[in-house]
């Protein structure tokens, strides 16, 4: 499986007989290597082997990567016999002197440390090693549920990366149109919220009233970890198309009042669960305050990616619309149903989901009938829908911002009429407001009691407690 010269893994997918014999030889070599490495301190693998691994890993097939990961979890983990001996020695040293007892503690601690942790520390010292570890965890996450050993490897590797990507060690960079083309190209590929359709699109989003900031690590130069796009505006924006279509070369006032965080993207799947976006937003707020003292509001204009999916799962969502008896009392009231049928008589033959799949945005009458329904249901989803058996809100974007101390400020009608906004969130978007003096308190209330802090627009329009 894992050879001393890891470039041999490229042939791992050959004929089955050859593959089995190759695997047997690799296991034999690995066992011998481990026997030598386990008896001596220092590096676990030769430097050239580490360099070959780092260089060849991106070229491995999916099956080859799985084979490598299995070897790591099975043969580079903690030695059970060694742990048992250390535990026994620790237990029998209770009546010994302090020095012997401390020696037993050290031996137990050393026995419990998986050998792959030494390997990770060694690899990280090589050029490209940190990127290799990030990509390795991405692949480990895919298979971690298959065995306890794989899950343990995922947890240990995650802890290594969390310690490595401490906020104090990250570099904040502002990306401009003059930044290296390779970096801009990577950002175009990594963007997940609002895709860059062309080079002109990214140039526009780097215009005079736009800001783009990213975090990177000194050991991964030119590789953004997470980045955020910001629009400087005169008020809290309620429509993403207005932001994207704005003339960024001339529209910035001399005294912008609001900073709109309209897209935040994580780039490395291997860093899942390591929260960098929260720290990026807070750091960028400080930078913007310094550069633009007139700013009063720091808000997002965020998608609601789970809304339509949640809506399909509500009681009555698949029922047919009928004037009598009322359709899906759990979802609509009689007045709302009659308004929809009145605006679109054909709706009696469809479900709400089918209606939302129609071109309702182009019908002013149907828009008017659907608005109170979707705004009410959108509010319920964001404010009241919780994860099964937990206090956190169901929507992942809402959970991210509320957990980080933002206020659920305002739900916006027809805020994103793109295909993605139409399919995911029925064209709704939401503002999460970062009120600097309340961030810590809001976060504590949510994490402790599951309390969602509501902004005045929600309280006034929907009579929600705040």
What's 315's domain CATH number?
Answer: 3.40.630.150
How many other C-beta atoms lie within 10 A of the C-beta of residue 18?
11
Asked whether residue 85 is assigned to any structural domain, the reply reads: no
Return the closest-CA partner of residue 82 out of 105, 48, 108. Answer: 108
What's the confidence (pLDDT) of residue 151?
96
Return the closest-CA partner of residue 148 out of 79, 77, 82, 81. Answer: 77
What's the confidence (pLDDT) of residue 46?
74
Domain count, the chain: 3
Enclosing domain of residue 339: 307-462
Among residues 300, 335, 361, which one ends one of the domains? 300
Which residues are catalytic, by number? 302, 401
Round to whole Å and give the CA distance between 34 and 119. Answer: 11
Shared domain check, 314 and 230:
no
Mean pLDDT by 10 residues, the chain (466 residues): 41 41 46 45 72 84 86 84 77 71 78 86 92 96 95 96 91 96 95 90 92 96 95 95 80 83 95 90 94 96 94 69 41 85 81 89 95 93 88 94 96 96 96 94 94 87 59
Shared domain check, 160 and 192:
no
What's the confidence (pLDDT) of residue 224?
96
Among residues 284, 300, 316, which one ends one of the domains? 300
Q: What's the number of CA atoms in the CB half-sphere (13 Å) around residue 403? A: 14
Asked whether residue 252 is assigned to any structural domain, the reply reads: yes
Among residues 280, 300, 320, which one ends one of the domains? 300
What's the confidence (pLDDT) of residue 230?
97
Reported as type and span, the H/E element at residue 107 is helix 98-112
Asked whether residue 82 is assigned to any structural domain, the reply reads: no
Asked whether residue 154 is assigned to any structural domain, the reply reads: yes
Shared domain check, 172 and 145:
no
Whether the full predicted model's pTM is greater than 0.85, yes or no, is no
Asked whether residue 84 is assigned to any structural domain, the reply reads: no
Asked whether residue 86 is assigned to any structural domain, the reply reads: no
Shared domain check, 243 and 121:
no
Shared domain check, 406 and 326:
yes
Shared domain check, 317 and 293:
no
What's the confidence (pLDDT) of residue 99?
76
Shared domain check, 143 and 123:
yes
């Amino acid at each position: 499986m894992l050879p001393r010269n890891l470039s041999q893994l490229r042939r791992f997918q050959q004929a089955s007989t050859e593959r089995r014999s190759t695997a047997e030889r690799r296991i034999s070599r690995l066992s011998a290597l481990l026997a030598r490495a386990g008896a001596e301190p220092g590096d676990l693998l030769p430097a050239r082997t580490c360099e070959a691994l780092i260089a060849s890993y991106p070229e491995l097939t999916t099956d080859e990567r799985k084979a490598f990961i299995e070897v790591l979890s099975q043969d580079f983990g903690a030695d059970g016999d060694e742990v048992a001996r250390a535990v026994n020695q620790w237990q029998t040293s209770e009546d010994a002197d302090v020095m012997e007892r401390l020696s037993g503690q050290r031996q137990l601690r050393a026995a419990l440390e998986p050998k792959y942790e030494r390997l990770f520390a060694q690899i990280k010292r090589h050029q490209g090693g940190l990127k290799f570890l990030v990509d390795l965890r991405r692949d480990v996450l895919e298979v971690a549920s298959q065995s306890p050993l794989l899950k343990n490897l995922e947890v240990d590797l995650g802890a290594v990366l969390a310690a490595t990507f401490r906020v104090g060690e990250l570099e904040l960079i502002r990306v401009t149109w003059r930044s290296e083309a390779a970096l801009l190209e990577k950002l175009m590929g990594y963007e997940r919220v609002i895709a860059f359709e062309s080079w002109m699109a990214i140039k526009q989003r780097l215009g005079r009233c736009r800001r783009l900031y990213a975090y990177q690590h000194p050991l991964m130069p030119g590789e953004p970890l997470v980045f955020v796009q910001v629009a400087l505006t005169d008020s809290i924006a309620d429509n993403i198309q207005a932001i994207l279509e704005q003339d960024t070369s001339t529209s910035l006032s001399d005294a912008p009042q609001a900073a709109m965080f309209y897209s935040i993207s994580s780039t490395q799947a291997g860093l899942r669960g390591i929260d960098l976006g929260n720290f990026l937003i807070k750091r960028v707020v400080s930078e913007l305050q310094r550069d633009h003292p007139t700013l009063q509001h720091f808000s997002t204009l965020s998608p609601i990616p789970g809304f339509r999916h949640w809506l399909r799962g509500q009681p009555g969502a698949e029922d047919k619309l009928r004037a009598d008896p009322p359709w899906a009392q759990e979802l609509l009231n009689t007045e709302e149903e009659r308004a929809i049928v009145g605006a679109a008589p054909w709706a009696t033959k469809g479900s709400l989901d089918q209606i939302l799949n129609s071109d309702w945005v182009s019908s002013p009458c149907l828009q008017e009938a659907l608005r109170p329904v979707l705004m009410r249901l959108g509010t319920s989803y964001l404010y009241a829908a919780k994860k099964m058996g937990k206090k956190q809100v169901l929507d992942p974007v809402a959970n991210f911002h509320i957990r980080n101390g933002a206020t659920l400020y305002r739900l916006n009608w027809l805020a994103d009429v793109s295909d993605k906004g139409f399919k995911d969130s029925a064209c709704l978007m939401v503002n999460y407001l970062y009120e600097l003096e309340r961030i810590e308190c809001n976060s504590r209330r949510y994490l402790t009691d599951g309390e969602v802090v509501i902004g005045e627009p929600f309280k006034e329009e929907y009579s929600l407690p705040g």
